[in-house]
C-alpha cells in the first residue's frame, strides 16, 4: 500500500526511552501476596462514561465494591461536581460506609478545591484525600507553561493546605495520597524530586504512612520499562518504610494489567483500577483480571468474584457498557469450548478431576484449556461446552450427560456427532442443549413409535435362554418373536433375524440408570440402553428408555432394526388368526 499522501505515518512518533538500569531485580521476583486494592470505579470510571452514573447507580456500585471486598474505594471528585459532593455526603450522613472501608476523594492542588473536598468529608470516620498535579514535560511546557520549580511549588503548597484542613477536622482519621499525574511522561529524577518534596511536608511514619501513587496516565511504553521506573523510585524515594507505593495504570497499549503486575514485582504495594477496566480512552487497569490472575496462581486475591454474574449485571446496569463476551474471566464465552478437540480434552480431564476429588477434595486443578475452575466464578459446566459446526463428538456427549444424564458410549458418540454437525451447518448458529437432545431423541428413540415391545416371556435354561416377545408394529400389527440364545439379547436378535429374514449381529451394547427427575424421588429409576447392530452388513445405532432394563434393551435392538428399514413379519399362525 502506497504511503503517498497518507496520514498513516510512523515517522511522527519516537520510541519511549528505556532506563539504563544494571541492577534490576524485579525479573527474578514473583507475586506472593495480593497488593492492597483501591477501586476508582466511582471516580475515574464514572468520569469516562457517556452518561455518568445516577445517584442510585452510584450507590449500587458502592455496595457491590464493598461486597466484593474492597477496603479502599475512591468515591468521587467532590470539588469538581455537585453530584459527586452530594454522593460523598450521602455515604457519610446515612452511615453507609463499613468500619473496615476507607473512602477516598480526589482533588487538584488548589486551595478552594481542597477546602471543598474536606467539606464533603466532614464527619467521616476515616478518609484518604488524594492530591494531584501534572508533572509531565508536555503539560508543563505546553499546557501550564510553568517551570519545574513552579510545578513543584504547587505540589508542596497543596500538601500544606491538606495538612491545615485535616487539622481543622481532627475527628476524622486522615490519610494523604499524592500523584504526580502523567508520571510516565515525567523525567524520573524530577518526579522523584516532587514526590520527596511532598513527603517532606507530610513527614510520614511507619505507623502513619502516606501513599505515593505513580500513574501511567497515558500508557506509552512496554510494561518492563514501567517496572524499571517503579523499582528505581522504590530504591530512591525518601522514607520508603513510611510510604506506600501505589500504581494507577491505563490501558492505551493494552498492557495495563501487565504493567501493574510487573510494577508489583518491582516493589509496589497498592493498585488502583476499575472492575473490568472501564476508564478513559481504552480504560483503566482491570482489577478483575489482575486479581483473578493472582487467584489462578494459588494466591488469595483478597477480593471475592465468586458471583461473577451479579458483578457483570451490576456493572452493565450502572455503566451502560456491555461486557465483551471474550473479556478475561468475566465474558460469557471465556470458558466456552466450541472446538471438537478442545471439548474432548476438557471432557476427559474433568471426568478425572471429579473422580480424584471424591477421595481428595484438595486436588489441584489440572484441566486442559481451563486455567481455573469455572465454578469458582459461579459459572456452570453447561457454559463450558458450547456446540456449533466446529464442535466434535466429545462436546456433544458432554452436553447430553450434564443436562440429561445420557452417557453415550464412544461408538454412539461417533455415530451421533454428524447428525448434530449437519444441524449446526444448516442453522449456521450455536446448537442448544435442548436441540441436541431433540436430535438424539429423533435419531435413536423415535423408532419406538412405529414398533414397540408389548411384553415378553423369558425362560432361562442351562444351555440357552428362550425368549418370546410380542411386538406392536404400526404396519404389521402384533408380531411374536421367538428365539434362543446365550442371554436375552442374543435370543431376541436371533428371533428378529428369523422374522425379518436378514442377518443381524449385535456389535455393541451399553446401559445405565438415568438420574431421577425432580419430585420423583420415590419412583423407580428409568434406564437407558444403547445398541449397535449389523443388519445385512450395515451398522445401525439406537437407544431406548424404560423403567425395566430388559425392556429398554429389547426396545433399543428393535429401534436399531427399524432404523435399518427392516420390518418384522407375522408368522403363518398369526396371519391365520387374523
Annotated ligand binding at 547? The verdict is no
Within 304-384, where are the H helices? 308-319, 340-359
Query: Grid coordinates representing 198?
Result: 511532598
CA distances from 436 to 124, 176, 256, 406, 419 (A): 58, 60, 41, 11, 9
Q: Which of 68, 469, 465 is nearest to 276 (CA)?
A: 68
Q: Which of 276, 278, 223 is nearest to 247 (CA)?
A: 223
Residue 543 backbone phi and psi in degrees, to 5: -145, 165
Beta-carbon count within 10 A of 72 CB: 21
Annotated ligand binding at 213? The verdict is no
Q: Which of 252, 247, 254 is nearest to 272 (CA)?
A: 247
Is residue 200 within 8 A of residue 155, CB to CB? The reply is no
Is residue 210 within 8 A of residue 244, CB to CB? The reply is yes
Pairing assessment for the beta strands 504-513 and 477-485 based on DSSP bridges:
unpaired
3-state secondary structure of 3: coil
Pairing assessment for the beta strands 243-249 and 270-273 based on DSSP bridges:
parallel
What is the CA 461 to chain-centroid distance, rounded? 60
Cα separation, 260 vs 124, in Å, equals: 30
Beta-carbon count within 10 A of 433 CB: 17
Annotated ligand binding at 248? The verdict is yes
Is residue 510 within 8 A of residue 529, CB to CB? The reply is yes
Beta bridge partners of 431: 387
Cα separation, 400 vs 382, in Å, equals: 10
Q: Is 301 exposed, middle or buried (0-12, 13-18, 19+ CB in 10 A)?
A: buried
Cα separation, 274 vs 279, in Å, equals: 7
Strand 538-546: give its sheet, edge to edge.
504-513, 527-535, 538-546
Annotated ligand binding at 44? The verdict is yes
Query: Grid coordinates representing 229?
Result: 521506573
Cα separation, 435 vs 437, in Å, equals: 5
Helix (H) or strand (E) holding 149: helix 148-168
Residue tagged 483480571 (cell numbers) = 289
Dihedral (Cα; 307, 311, 314, 318), 10-degree rounding:
170
Is residue 276 within 8 A of residue 330, CB to CB? The reply is yes
3-state secondary structure of 298: coil
3-state secondary structure of 31: coil
Binding site, by residue number, is: 44, 248, 250, 284
Binding site for Mg(2+), by residue number, is: 44, 248, 250, 284
Amino acid at each position: 500500500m502506497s504511503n503517498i499522501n497518507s496520514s498513516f505515518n510512523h515517522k511522527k512518533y519516537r520510541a519511549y526511552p528505556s532506563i539504563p538500569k544494571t541492577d534490576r531485580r524485579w525479573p527474578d521476583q514473583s507475586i506472593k501476596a495480593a497488593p492492597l486494592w483501591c477501586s476508582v470505579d466511582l471516580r475515574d470510571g464514572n468520569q469516562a462514561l457517556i452518561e455518568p452514573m445516577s445517584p442510585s447507580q452510584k450507590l449500587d456500585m458502592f455496595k457491590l465494591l464493598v461486597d466484593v471486598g474492597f477496603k479502599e474505594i475512591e468515591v468521587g471528585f467532590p470539588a469538581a461536581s455537585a453530584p459527586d459532593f452530594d454522593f460523598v455526603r450521602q455515604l457519610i450522613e446515612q452511615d453507609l460506609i463499613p468500619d473496615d472501608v476507607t473512602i477516598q476523594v480526589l482533588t487538584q492542588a488548589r486551595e478552594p478545591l481542597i477546602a471543598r473536598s474536606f467539606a464533603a468529608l466532614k464527619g467521616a470516620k476515616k478518609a484518604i484525600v488524594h492530591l494531584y498535579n501534572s508533572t509531565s514535560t508536555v503539560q508543563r511546557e505546553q499546557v501550564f507553561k510553568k517551570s519545574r520549580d513552579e510545578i513543584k511549588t504547587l505540589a508542596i503548597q497543596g500538601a500544606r493546605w491538606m495538612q491545615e484542613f485535616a487539622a481543622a477536622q481532627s475527628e476524622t482519621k486522615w490519610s494523604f495520597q499524592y500523584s504526580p499525574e502523567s508520571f510516565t511522561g515525567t523525567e524520573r529524577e524530577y518526579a522523584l524530586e516532587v514526590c520527596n518534596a511532598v513527603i517532606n511536608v507530610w513527614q510520614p511514619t511507619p505507623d502513619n504512612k502516606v501513599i505515593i501513587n505513580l500513574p501511567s496516565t497515558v500508557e506509552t511504553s512496554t510494561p518492563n520499562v514501567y517496572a524499571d521506573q517503579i523499582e528505581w523510585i522504590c530504591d530512591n524515594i525518601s522514607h520508603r518504610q513510611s510510604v506506600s507505593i501505589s500504581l494507577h495504570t491505563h490501558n492505551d497499549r493494552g498492557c495495563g494489567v501487565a504493567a501493574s503486575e510487573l510494577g508489583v514485582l518491582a516493589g509496589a504495594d497498592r493498585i488502583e483500577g476499575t472492575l473490568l477496566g472501564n476508564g478513559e480512552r481504552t480504560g483503566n487497569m482491570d482489577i478483575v483480571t489482575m486479581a483473578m490472575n493472582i487467584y489462578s496462581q494459588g494466591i488469595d486475591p483478597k477480593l471475592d468474584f465468586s458471583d461473577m454474574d451479579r458483578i457483570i449485571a451490576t456493572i452493565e446496569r450502572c455503566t451502560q457498557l456491555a461486557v465483551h463476551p471474550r473479556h478475561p474471566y468475566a465474558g460469557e464465552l471465556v470458558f466456552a469450548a466450541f472446538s471438537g478437540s478442545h471439548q474432548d480434552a476438557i471432557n476427559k480431564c474433568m471426568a478425572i478431576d471429579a473422580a480424584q476429588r471424591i477421595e481428595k477434595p484438595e486436588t489441584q486443578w489440572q484441566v486442559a484449556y481451563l486455567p481455573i475452575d469455572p465454578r469458582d466464578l459461579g459459572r456452570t459446566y453447561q457454559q463450558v461446552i458450547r456446540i456449533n459446526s466446529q464442535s466434535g463428538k466429545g462436546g456433544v456427549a458432554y452436553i447430553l450427560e450434564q443436562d440429561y444424564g445420557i452417557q453415550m458410549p464412544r461408538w454412539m458418540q461417533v455415530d451421533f456427532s454428524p447428525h448434530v454437525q449437519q444441524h449446526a451447518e444448516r442453522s449456521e448458529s450455536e446448537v442448544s442443549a435442548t436441540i441436541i437432545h431433540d436430535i438424539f431423541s429423533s435419531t435413536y428413540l423415535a423408532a419406538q413409535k412405529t414398533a414397540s415391545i408389548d411384553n415378553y416371556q423369558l425362560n432361562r435354561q442351562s444351555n440357552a435362554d428362550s425368549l418370546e416377545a410380542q411386538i406392536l408394529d404400526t404396519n404389521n400389527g402384533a408380531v411374536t418373536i421367538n428365539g434362543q440364545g446365550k442371554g436375552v439379547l442374543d435370543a431376541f436378535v436371533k428371533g428378529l433375524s428369523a422374522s425379518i429374514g436378514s442377518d443381524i449381529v449385535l456389535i455393541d451394547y451399553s446401559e445405565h440408570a438415568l438420574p431421577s427427575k425432580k419430585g420423583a424421588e420415590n419412583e423407580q429409576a428409568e434406564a437407558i440402553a444403547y445398541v449397535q447392530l449389523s443388519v445385512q452388513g450395515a451398522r445401525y445405532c439406537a437407544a431406548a428408555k424404560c423403567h425395566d432394563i430388559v425392556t429398554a434393551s429389547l426396545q433399543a435392538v428393535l429401534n436399531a432394526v427399524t432404523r435399518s428399514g427392516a420390518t418384522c413379519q407375522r408368522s403363518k399362525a398369526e396371519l391365520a388368526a387374523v
